[in-house]
Amino acid sequence: MAMTAMNTSNGFIRSSLAMAAELRERAARDGYLFLPGLLPDTTIASVRDAVCTELVSAGWADPDDPTRARTHVRGTCILAPELGFLDIYRTIYRQRPFHELPHHPRLIAALTQVLGEPVLPHPRHILRVQTPGSARWSTPPHQDHHHIRGTTNTWTAWIPLTDCSEGLGGLAVQPGSHRLGNLPVHQADGAGGCAVTPTDLPWHRGSFTAGDVLLLHSLCVHQAQDNITTDRFRLSLDCRYQHAGEPIHAASLEPHEGLAQWEEIYAGWDKNAATRYYWRDHAINVVDADFDLER
């Protein structure tokens, strides 16, 4: 499903950690926070390099320019079986930097302002790879809660791994839409396989630089803009956070796409790594209602 037209749009409202208590007020009002330059280049590069190494190894990307897509993957849905993306993803998912980035102190500081303590990062981190010229597979307008379940007060950190112009497929959001509650969903192409009909609220959108972070309430309507470049991947992470005392769905404690068991993922790690099984240190309320697992 190509992105929904945005007849009325404005740039993102810029926020920063220095705003302290005002962050919570903005989050409650808008359902999103745009935090430019929140993460250091070295942190982003460690994950980007792990992703690009595997894309090159699989023949998807140009070795001399790993964010440049080879011709045979342009315009495709990455989950097409013949592409073998899940094999690539499985290798990436074992990389320690992939799982450590969501615990960066600056991210936790931002989420603490929004949620209060203690913040619980979900271990189910998600890599998004959008191929160039793949408008049909752009993520449609949706609310994350339909897929995540658990508490509605879950927040997503959307983290681009490269500079991301609007033409590369950055996100757009409808501020204030989180106050409308759960909206009806219908089937659609793109990540998640379903969409909501956007409200008549204006959209906020803009370009991103690697290191920027967009925080989104789970009921805030948002969509990916189409990647209209001719040869560039859009690479990003979705990382989820909630207050540890609120309900979390059991699926959010498992690896994305059932890629592996945690024992396999952690096999090559230092056994004293703080991010191994960290959620077991929290007294959490796990729920297990039926729903369509996030894709």
Q: How far apart are CA 12 and CA 211, in angstroms?
A: 16
The per-residue pLDDT for 21 is 81
Which amino acid is present at 138? S
Answer yes or no: is pLDDT of 39 > 50.
yes
pLDDT of residue 289: 66
What the block records as the tokens of 55 is: 């894309």
Q: Indicate which CATH number applies to the domain containing 17.
A: 2.60.120.620
Residue 4 lies in a domain: no
Residue 175 lies in a domain: yes
Residue 141 pLDDT greater than 90, yes or no: yes
For the segment 47-69, the average pLDDT, to the nearest whole number, is 97
Specify if 171 maps to a domain. Answer: yes
Tokens for 50, please give them: 């792990």
Q: Does some domain include residue 66?
A: yes
Mean pLDDT of 157-183: 96
User: How far out from the chain centre does Cα 73 lie?
Assistant: 22
Q: Does the residue 273 lie in any domain?
A: no
Find, among 131, 160, 134, 165, the residue nearest to 236 by Cα: 160
CB 98 within 8 Å of CB 268: no
* Structural domain includes residue 67: yes
Host domain of residue 106? 9-266
3-state secondary structure of 222: strand
Number of structural domains found in the chain: 1
The answer as to whether 294 is a domain residue is no
Tens-place pLDDT, residues 19-34: 988 999 999 999 999 9
Residue 289 in any domain: the answer is no
